[in-house]
Amino acid sequence: MSVYLLLGDDEERKARGVEKLRKGRAVEAYDAAETSPESVVSACNSHSLFGDGPFVLVRNLDAWNAAQKARILDYLQDPSPEADLVMLGEKLGAREKLLAAVKKMGEVHDFKQPTGTALAKWAVGHAKTLGLELPEDVAGELVARCSDDKVRAMGEIEKLALYAEGTATLEDLEALVRPDLQSNIFRFVDSLGAGNRGEALELLEALLATGEPPLRILYMIRRQFRLLARARSLFEEGTPRPEVASALKVPPFVAKKLEEQARRMDEGDLERALALVLDLERGLKGGSDLEDELQVELAVMELSD
> Which pLDDT score, from 0 to 100, does residue 37 have?
95
Residue at a domain's end among 110, 125, 160: 110
C-alpha closest to that of 30 among 56, 6, 63, 4: 56
One domain, residues 299 and 186: yes
Average pLDDT over residues 174-193: 75
Residue at a domain's end among 110, 129, 159: 110
> Which pLDDT score, from 0 to 100, does residue 12 have?
87
Per-residue pLDDT tens digits for 63-81: 999 999 999 999 999 999 8
One domain, residues 164 and 276: no
What is the C-alpha to C-alpha distance for residues 276 and 274, in angstroms, rounded to an integer? 5
One domain, residues 171 and 185: no
pTM confidence score? 0.58
How deeply is 275 buried, as exposed, middle or buried, from its count of CB atoms within 10 A (0-12, 13-18, 19+)?
A: exposed
Helix (H) or strand (E) holding 280: helix 267-282
> Which pLDDT score, from 0 to 100, does residue 266 have?
81
Per-residue pLDDT tens digits for 91-110: 888 889 999 999 999 999 99
One domain, residues 130 and 238: no
Average pLDDT over residues 39-60: 84
* Lowest mean pLDDT across 4-18, 225-239, 257-271: 257-271
Domain holding 18: CATH number? 3.40.50.300
Domain count, the chain: 3
One domain, residues 134 and 193: no
Average confidence score pLDDT of the chain: 87
pLDDT at 49 over 60: no
Residue, of 294 and 250, whose pLDDT is higher: 294
Average pLDDT over residues 203-213: 78
pLDDT at 36 over 70: yes
123: containing domain: 116-176
One domain, residues 144 and 58: no
Who contacts 147 (Cβ-Cβ below 8 Å, separation ≥6)?
180, 182, 183, 186, 253, 254
One domain, residues 124 and 163: yes
One domain, residues 191 and 281: yes
> Residue type for 32, please?
A
**Residue 51 — very low, low, confident or very high, per pLDDT cuts 50/70/90?**
low
> Which pLDDT score, from 0 to 100, does residue 72 have?
96
> Which pLDDT score, from 0 to 100, does residue 157 have?
95
Residue, of 48 and 217, whose pLDDT is higher: 217
> Which pLDDT score, from 0 to 100, does residue 251 have?
67
CA 175 remoteness from chain centre: 25
Average pLDDT over residues 163-174: 90
pLDDT at 35 over 90: yes
> Which pLDDT score, from 0 to 100, does residue 184 have?
74
Long-range contacts of 122-129 (CB under 8 A, 24+ apart): 122/150, 123/153, 123/157, 126/154, 126/157, 127/157, 127/160, 127/161, 127/168
Domain holding 154: CATH number? 1.10.8.60
Q: What percent of the chain has pLDDT over 70?
A: 94
One domain, residues 105 and 8: yes
One domain, residues 163 and 195: no
**Residue 6 — very low, low, confident or very high, per pLDDT cuts 50/70/90?**
very high
CB 22 within 8 A of CB 85: no
Per-residue pLDDT tens digits for 231-269: 999 999 999 888 888 888 776 667 877 888 888 778 888
One domain, residues 91 and 132: no
* Lowest mean pLDDT across 155-164, 199-208, 293-302: 199-208
> Which pLDDT score, from 0 to 100, does residue 206 have?
78
CB 218 within 8 A of CB 281: yes
Average pLDDT over residues 270-274: 86
> Which pLDDT score, from 0 to 100, does residue 132 have?
95
pLDDT at 52 over 90: no
Residue at a domain's end among 87, 110, 133: 110
One domain, residues 125 and 146: yes
